[in-house]
Structure 1
Amino acid sequence: MSLGHLLKVPKVGVQHTLFSCSLEASLDLFQDAPSPLVPSMPTPHPSMGIQSCPSLTFLPSPRSHPLAPQCDISSQLPLPTRPHQPHDTIYHSGSPSRRALCWPALSLWPATCHQTRRVPPSEARRLTQACCPQTSVRYNIPAAFSSLPAIKSLGLRGVSCISLTHLDGSPASHQVLQSVAYHLGPHLQSLCLAGGSPTEASFVALLLSCPALRSLDVSGCNSLLASGLLLAQPETAQRVRQALSGLCELNLAGLRDLTDCSFNRLSSCAPSLQRLSLAYCHLTFELLPAQGSTGPQASSPSQLSFRNLLRFVKERAGRLHALDLSGTGLSPEALQALGQVAGLQLQELRLHSCRDLSTEAVVALCRQQPGLTSLDLSGCSELSDGALLAVSRSLRHLQHLSLRKLQRLTDAGCTGLGGLWELRSLDMAECCLVSGRELARALGSVRGAPPPLASLSLAYCSSLQVLQLPQLRRLSLSLLPALTDKGLVAMARGCPSLERLALSHCSHLSDEGWAQAAGFWPRLQHLNLSSCSQLTEQTLDTIGQACKQIQMLDVAMCPGISMAAVRRFQAQLPQVTCVQSRFVGGADLTLTL
């Protein structure tokens, strides 16, 4: 069967997602969309969902629409002009009766080639499979009758990672779940039902059809727990346990009706669980059992207790590696009890918005769990410099650290960051007392090879010093009014590998600064300059000439840039997939406030 036949898809309604091939970001196909939409920025830390990887996204061409009936794939493949990069895009182009797959960047040919060649269909299929491995692509499928033929096609292609949207108790959703179970179930490895409302019966039937499932996301699926009887029948639970024997990752975030009983039933069906998210579930923190107490504790049928969770962690300590308790109101005593569980060796821990945590509790955690590689303490507003110093001192293998909105953090806490030799991403946005002076000094103090830091966010910090991070690829300095043209040029020289840069609301930046800085950033792909009030169309011309790989640009609310300049910029750089230009040219915002 030809690849063209496999990619035939039915028409769907306006703003219904059909295919979204991305792990770092997803992209929707809209009927009647005038131009391709934009992938969202990847998170710098690993999520509790599927791991990040380079992505390929199907997009509509301005000349045609990929959802047209009888869509066929031709073998015309233009050669790329640069090596393959993450978020490269596959475009549908050509006449309505004949389409072409076009890779704007693919490292199968030399970067100096600019011509186009025709290849036989067999080679086109081979190249497509090589660039779109089905194990690393997620497909978003709406629960609609129009999706049924596409699900069958995806089953023939061996797709193993899907996300179902708009699920409810309707006949359409029921048939979609049945079709997924029949066509995709035997080889499905990752299933996301986040925010849907499937019925208990259809959910159980789907699980029984997925013996290879390794990742399950039912966050926000409150309909599953409304009756309190999910998996209450022992024979049903046993069958689901056999089907989910290989499940490694379970996301139960935002389930408001989750209780001890329902959690125990769900977790008992996943004996191989390694990653668990209970973010924003309502945890109760009654008095913990006495030290050394081994007596049985009754599970609550009406609430989710930390005592029950702690018992689960103790039972799975040798296997559990990642835990997300963001927004649960975790107390310092509970964190200490969790960290000292015998045999527990966490690698990833997310405690976003646990506002009651104390610096002393974090210090104890770092001592108890030295193997952490990813830690999120964003929004834990009681933490001070001592917490960051303990992290720098004890977590020597840390790769991802998020400290966003820690408003008690100062430069003194940043002095030890140079000791984190393996740190790859750091988020200190909205730490308003951090000037960046000690941070720049600490990150530049590593002798020998430069630090491997690839992502840094210092948005809304008080000021910024010169950064010397040659491997940095993502940088956010938004809401830094003190950033001047001189600082911009110094930053460009110190960070020449940037691919994503956010400088929104930096009101002192001008055309002159960009004229000097842009030449240092030939790899720049994503740029946010919204609300930079001094910039004019001259900056657009500079970016267009120096940053040939630019794909997305945000110049919203820049009064010195006109719509005519935006259209001219897009015409000169056809690889640009999106330019955000809301209220450019000094538009009156009175009616929008």
Structure 2
Amino acid sequence: MASLELPYEVLVHLFKYLSHSDRKSASETCRAWYLAANDYCFLKKKVLVFFKTDLHGDYLPLQIIEDSIVPYENFVFREIDISSKINRFWNKIGDNIKVLTIQKCDIHERGINYILQRCTNLEMLNIQNCKELFMSGCLLEHSESWLVNSFRNLKSLNLSENKYITDALFYRFVKAAPELEHLCLSLCPLQFHGGFIKKFYPKTDYIFQNPSECVFTFYFVMQYIASRVRKIRRLEFSNTLIDGAALKSLAEIEDLKLDSLQLSTCDQLTNAGIIALTTHQQSLRELNIALCTRVTDQSLKYICDNLINLECLNIQRCRAVSNLGVSELHKLKKLKKLNIAQCELITKDGIEQGLCKEENLILEELDLNSLNLHQNCVIMISEKLPNLTYLNLSFCFNAVTDTSVQVIFKNQVHLKTLKITYCDKVSDAGLTGMGKVEAVGNAEGPVMSSYNEMIAPNRIHLGSRAEEEIIRDARRKRDVMRMCENLTMDSYTGYSLGQLKSLRKLNISGCNRITDVSLTYAFSFKELKSLDLSRCQQITVDGIQHLVKNCPSIEYLDLTDCYNLKDDAVIEIVKGFKRLQHLYLRGCNQLTNKTLEAIREHCKVLKVLDIQGCLNISVELACAIGSLPTLHTVLMSKPGTCYITDGVKNRSPVPPTIPSLLRKLQL
């Protein structure tokens, strides 16, 4: 029977319902599907990343792009050497590029000049942490004749982390971009003291005629913003020394109407600046003041009273914020994303009066990481905020229990991301729903019934408390396994993790009561992309076999310190997860060279591999596996050396006793 060929438009419409990974896999089926999966509606969101890649050898990575029939628009070059040897690439592809990002690259003035002359349709330009590029002060000198043509459509400019930038260098970029809407200067050496104005700009009427080549002043940036006040909508000054007076001056610029302002980790920021901001910039839809230690309840009250159009608010680790300020959050009727993580003074009372005063169908993302909450608070949140797609309850030791997760599985059916890191009160009973759920009196939520987890009352246990806990865990695992095996409609009265059919990312790191039982009976997600099972030390190959079978789309898998895993478990993983890109096996000290042989044979798209602390794996073979075409990062260590996490050295993995100690401190 001849195969049915669907029209191009129908294929494109169908592919809109697929995730990026699914579209990529579908595009490899045939040429018609390849073209449909690379339609412009998808192409403008696709990013080509060149990370630690040698572009000067045989030119193969760039030649593939040059010869492709698909006109790619978004390019990221990170930690590579960009020289004149690849000029042919810019000559051929430059006109197609609309978004260009250059991060931590070895590139000089002549090279960036050549690139920008060829990229004549840029809409976004990011040049981050390229200190050699700005060091001489000659960047874009004598570029007026051609830069205007290249920047005529530029709407977003990111110059963050460039410590040698000056007023003159900054102005060479922005003066040629009449349509600029977004400006990011985070981690730049902005100077805010008034003495710089007197020294370098004694005649402020002619500030743009002679910008300083010595310093980068906030005064100059503010004058530029005032000159383009009709266009500028989004600003980022995170990790700078901006204070209340500077923010007040910025907010009071006449006719300025900001949509977004990022001020994360600005230690000098005060309530006075926030109050002025909320008074004059009431059009704000996004505000980030995370880690601003001087922000208090007063600021939050003004935010809730004046910024009625706010959709995203981040006050993470604003430790002076308490229930008094959080109770005002119910006034933000359009709020979709909220981060109040690590605000230690916030408790159930503030959340009840603010977020949960009435049912909220608007809020989609909520981060409560490290708050001192009770399980009743989580139950209340799950009942009042039914449309959450992102929920972070990591380190909420007392709040996340078998009871509260059952209510989450019942009500938060739209969740795409769930994080309960180190919430080690959660067990198989909670994830599988095998604990009986009962309504007790006027209680705020269901209660998990006991299931033979206590030691028989007529027996006297002579072992230590740790041994007693091990016995309880073993009995708990046995009882839940029996209930799962004898599952009937009458016995299944709880809610399984499997209720969350939309789940894309799950983090249960440090939940050491999770065993193979949960992996066998609760994990069935066709679209789960990211899974963190690190320090879930009871997991073995039996659970991994079911995980591979029921969650085929996993791309990111963290099994750090799961020391019961052996080579056979990793072999199951690399054979079953065809899309696996990040695999972390740190501390799995039973693994041998068989693991690397299986990875080399079966992993076709793996990018990152962490085998630090795997003492039975030879260094020579680990180095050899780096020859895999897609693999760009292999983390390994010899006995006694440091671990590396996100570029930071750690002498040892997190001890398993730390979570319990932290929980005791919370109590």
CA distance in 1, matches of 2:146, 2:36: 40
In the TM superposition, residue 528 of structure 1 has moved relative to its aligned partner by 0.5
1:120-148 alpha-carbon deviations (Å, 9 max, x no partner) = x5632443234873222111134512223
Q: Is the 8 A contact 2:248 2:272 kept in 1?
A: no
1:142-190 alpha-carbon deviations (Å, 9 max, x no partner) = 4512223123134x41111111233335xxx3233x1332222112111
CA distance in 2, matches of 1:481, 1:85: 36
Match of 1:485 among 402, 422, 425: 402
Match of 1:150 in 2: 64
Match of 1:42 in 2: none
In the TM superposition, residue 205 of structure 1 has moved relative to its aligned partner by 1.3
1:57-97 alpha-carbon deviations (Å, 9 max, x no partner) = xxxxxxxxxxxxxxxxxx9xx9x99993544434569xxxx
Match of 2:412 among 492, 495, 515: 495
1:434-463 alpha-carbon deviations (Å, 9 max, x no partner) = 12442244333356xx43211111110111
CA distance in 1, matches of 2:190, 2:549: 54
Aligned counterparts, 1:11-50, within 5 A: none
The residue type equivalent to 1:240 in the other structure is L
Match of 1:455 in 2: 365
Match of 1:246 in 2: 153
In the TM superposition, residue 321 of structure 1 has moved relative to its aligned partner by 0.5
Match of 1:101 among 28, 31, 48: 28
CA distance in 1, matches of 2:550, 2:283: 50
CA distance in 1, matches of 2:158, 2:548: 41
In the TM superposition, residue 266 of structure 1 has moved relative to its aligned partner by 1.5
Q: Is the 8 A contact 1:511 1:536 kept in 2?
A: yes
Match of 1:348 in 2: 260
Match of 1:362 in 2: 274
1:525-548 alpha-carbon deviations (Å, 9 max, x no partner) = 211111012211111123224x44
In the TM superposition, residue 494 of structure 1 has moved relative to its aligned partner by 3.2
In the TM superposition, residue 232 of structure 1 has moved relative to its aligned partner by 2.1
Match of 1:209 among 118, 130, 136: 118
Q: 5+ unaligned residues in a row in structure 2: which ranges? A: 1-7, 434-494, 565-587, 590-612, 614-638, 641-651, 654-667
What secondary structure is seen at the aligned counterpart in 2 of 1:452?
A: coil
Match of 2:543 among 565, 575, 580: 565
Match of 1:532 in 2: 511
Match of 1:163 among 76, 80, 98: 76
Percentage of identical aligned residues: 21
Q: Is the 8 A contact 1:162 1:192 kept in 2?
A: yes
In the TM superposition, residue 564 of structure 1 has moved relative to its aligned partner by 4.1
Q: 1:249 to 1:143 in 2, by over 3 A?
A: farther
What secondary structure is seen at the aligned counterpart in 1 of 2:257?
A: coil
CA distance in 1, matches of 2:84, 2:522: 50
CA distance in 2, matches of 1:486, 1:472: 19
Question: Are 1:84 and 2:62 an aligned pair?
Answer: no
Q: 1:83 to 1:219 in 2, by over 3 A?
A: closer
Aligned counterparts, 1:439-454, within 5 A: 439-446=351-358, 450-454=360-364
The residue type equivalent to 2:501 in the other structure is P
Match of 1:331 among 202, 226, 243: 243
What secondary structure is seen at the aligned counterpart in 1 of 2:214?
A: coil
Q: 1:515 to 1:125 in 2, by over 3 A?
A: closer
The residue type equivalent to 2:364 in the other structure is A
Match of 2:458 in 1: none
Between structure 1 and structure 2, the one with the greater Rg is: 2
Question: Are 1:280 and 2:187 an aligned pair?
Answer: yes
The residue type equivalent to 1:84 in the other structure is Y
CA distance in 2, matches of 1:427, 1:179: 46
CA distance in 1, matches of 2:543, 2:134: 54
Q: Is the 8 A contact 2:425 2:513 kept in 1?
A: yes
1:554-583 alpha-carbon deviations (Å, 9 max, x no partner) = 111112222442244213432333432111
Question: Are 1:299 and 2:211 an aligned pair?
Answer: yes
Match of 2:309 among 394, 397, 405: 397
Q: Is the 8 A contact 2:102 2:128 kept in 1?
A: yes
Question: Are 1:266 and 2:173 an aligned pair?
Answer: yes
Q: 1:87 to 1:506 in 2, by over 3 A?
A: farther
The residue type equivalent to 1:255 in the other structure is N
Q: Is the 8 A contact 1:143 1:166 kept in 2?
A: no
CA distance in 1, matches of 2:48, 2:358: 42
1:93-125 alpha-carbon deviations (Å, 9 max, x no partner) = 9xxxxxx726xxxxxxxxxxxxxxxxxx56324
In the TM superposition, residue 502 of structure 1 has moved relative to its aligned partner by 0.5
CA distance in 1, matches of 2:158, 2:112: 15
Match of 2:481 in 1: none
- Higher relative CO (Cα under 8 Å, sequence separation at least 6) belongs to 1
Question: Are 1:136 and 2:45 an aligned pair?
Answer: yes
CA distance in 2, matches of 1:159, 1:281: 31
Match of 1:510 in 2: 427
The residue type equivalent to 2:67 in the other structure is S
Question: Are 1:185 and 2:100 an aligned pair?
Answer: no
In the TM superposition, residue 339 of structure 1 has moved relative to its aligned partner by 0.5
Q: Is the 8 A contact 1:143 1:164 kept in 2?
A: no
Q: 1:543 to 1:525 in 2, by over 3 A?
A: farther
Measured on the aligned residues, the alpha-carbon RMSD in Å equals: 2.8
Q: Is the 8 A contact 1:472 1:497 kept in 2?
A: yes
Q: 1:440 to 1:551 in 2, by over 3 A?
A: farther
Question: Are 1:584 and 2:562 an aligned pair?
Answer: yes
TM-score, structure 2 as length reference: 0.68
The residue type equivalent to 1:529 in the other structure is I
Match of 1:10 in 2: none
Q: 1:248 to 1:299 in 2, by over 3 A?
A: same
CA distance in 1, matches of 2:527, 2:173: 47
Match of 1:33 in 2: none
CA distance in 2, matches of 1:86, 1:456: 23
In the TM superposition, residue 521 of structure 1 has moved relative to its aligned partner by 1.6
Q: How many residue pairs were aligned?
A: 482
CA distance in 2, matches of 1:581, 1:222: 37
Match of 2:162 in 1: 255
Q: 1:423 to 1:201 in 2, by over 3 A?
A: same
In the TM superposition, residue 368 of structure 1 has moved relative to its aligned partner by 1.0
CA distance in 2, matches of 1:82, 1:124: 9
Match of 1:67 in 2: none
The residue type equivalent to 1:543 in the other structure is A
Match of 2:644 in 1: none
Q: 1:574 to 1:122 in 2, by over 3 A?
A: closer
Match of 1:407 in 2: 319
1:240-269 alpha-carbon deviations (Å, 9 max, x no partner) = 122211111100000110011111111112
Q: Is the 8 A contact 1:143 1:165 kept in 2?
A: no
Match of 2:392 among 476, 493, 498: 476
Q: Choose between structure 1 and 2: higher helix proportion.
A: 2
What secondary structure is seen at the aligned counterpart in 2 of 1:544?
A: coil
CA distance in 2, matches of 1:505, 1:497: 23
Match of 1:110 in 2: none
The residue type equivalent to 2:395 in the other structure is L
The residue type equivalent to 1:202 in the other structure is G
